Amino acid sequence: MKRIKVLVTGGAGYIGAHTVVELHKSGYDAVIADNLSNSSEDVLTGIEKITGEKPVFERVDCTDYNALADLFLRHKDISYAIHFAAFKAVGESVSDPMKYYRNNLISLINLIEIMTSAGESSIVFSSSCTVYGQPSANYLPVGEDAPLQPAQSPYGKTKQMCEDILKDASQAMKERLKVISLRYFNPVGAHPSALIGELPMGVPQNLLPFVAQTAAGVREFLNVWGDDYNTPDGSCIRDYIYVCDLAKAHVAALDRMTERNGKMDENIEYYNLGTGRGLSVLEVIDLFKRANSVDVPFKIAPRRPGDVEQVWADPSKANKVLGWRADTPVESVMQSAWKWEKRIRGME
């Protein structure tokens, strides 16, 4: 069977790199487009060591229309894309919203316009559970039919706007554009080889990188943002999904678009990607400590503005329709995060 070529924008990023590895395993040829604004070329070496093949890399900023159009002229046989290239720091998006609107919206608009002008195209979009805000109790766990709520940050708004853009474009170009929007819950962990993983720039804002840095002694202690929420132990609840499981969902989405596995019912589909299990911040700390036999000192601190209290996924649609499941045991996930942290700190 002829191998299908897939453009992976943001393919040198955290989730992108893991997805490139899974695509390789599943017989797809990835072409990475990345401007390396939040990643480095070392990631490409990591991918090469894992797959045994140097990944095809194009240093392109997707907000640059001409540069992206040129890429498609060099790769005329690409009609599938997975679009990761976007900024994702919630706090920064509040202080610098224009950076987020410019980057996240224009990249997507360019991609849609360039791909559809050449012919039939399919785009897998990297979305987020942030589109659901804080779901009411009767919508927990969250299915795809839960009402969307106004996003709390410009970052979240860009995810909602991008979904709207994709919906309108796919409705208007029914014969030309197919879309699968994947709404991620909280991606964590690293490839078991520890050759690729999450590289937070500066002080990490996300929980797992902060936990790992605290265990490594880089941070003195972790702040648990709030223990007075209406949850069993008072800390916030999230659905932490292993990045390699998440990467596999992108392959499953492509298999559906390419009709290797089923056929799309509509030309835009949405899937929630999570484990179906909610974990509190305190439970995560405890699991990390026990899985790795390390200490993680923490203090209870005031709530973080904008945090939702609890959200976890109902992944049954993705389980059933995509034939995909996040099934890596949480202990292995925590171990992968620690192995990666030790590697980047030179502790092994």
Please report, as ranges, the residues that interact with ligand UD1 according to CB under 6 A: 88, 90, 128-130, 186, 205-207, 210, 222-225, 236, 238, 281, 304, 307-308, 311
**What does the alpha-carbon distance between residue 145 and residue 182 come to, in Å, rounded to a whole number?**
14
Q: Of 88 and 176, which CB lies nearer to ligand UD1 in the complex structure?
A: 88
**What does the alpha-carbon distance between residue 152 and residue 59 come to, in Å, rounded to a whole number?**
32
* Residue from 80, 155, 229, 242 carrying the catalytic annotation: 155
Q: Of 33 and 129, which CB lies nearer to ligand UD1 in the complex structure?
A: 129
Q: Of 110 and 186, which CB lies nearer to ligand UD1 in the complex structure?
A: 186
Report the side by side order of strands in the sheet with 28-34.
56-59, 28-34, 4-9, 80-83, 121-128, 177-184, 268-273
Q: What residue is closest to ligand UD1 based on CB?
A: 236
Residues 6+ positions from 7 with CB-CB distance below 8 Å? 30, 31, 33, 71, 75, 78, 80, 81, 82
Under 8 Å between Cβ of 278 and 310: yes
Q: Which of 318, 31, 297, 37 is closest to 185 using CA atoms? A: 318
Q: Which of 195, 167, 192 is closest to 181 using CA atoms? A: 167
**What does the alpha-carbon distance between residue 242 and residue 337 come to, in Å, rounded to a whole number?**
10
Q: Of 104 and 116, which CB lies nearer to ligand UD1 in the complex structure?
A: 104
Q: Of 20 and 89, which CB lies nearer to ligand UD1 in the complex structure?
A: 89
The distance of closest approach from Cβ of residue 225 to ligand UD1 in the complex, given in angstroms and rounded to an integer, is 4
The distance of closest approach from Cβ of residue 28 to ligand UD1 in the complex, given in angstroms and rounded to an integer, is 25
The distance of closest approach from Cβ of residue 287 to ligand UD1 in the complex, given in angstroms and rounded to an integer, is 13
Q: Of 122 and 160, which CB lies nearer to ligand UD1 in the complex structure?
A: 160
242 is catalytic: no
Q: Which of 184, 180, 222, 190 is closest to 203 using CA atoms? A: 222
Q: Which of 89, 325, 128 is closest to 238 using CA atoms? A: 128
The distance of closest approach from Cβ of residue 168 to ligand UD1 in the complex, given in angstroms and rounded to an integer, is 23
**What does the alpha-carbon distance between residue 70 and residue 33 come to, in Å, rounded to a whole number?**
12
Straight-line distance from the first to the last Cα atom of the chain, in angstroms, rounded to the nearest whole number: 42
HEC sequence for 24-59: HHCCEEEEEEECCCCCCCHHHHHHHHHHCCCCEEEE
Give the other-Cβ count within 10 Å of 301's Cβ: 13
Active site residues: 155
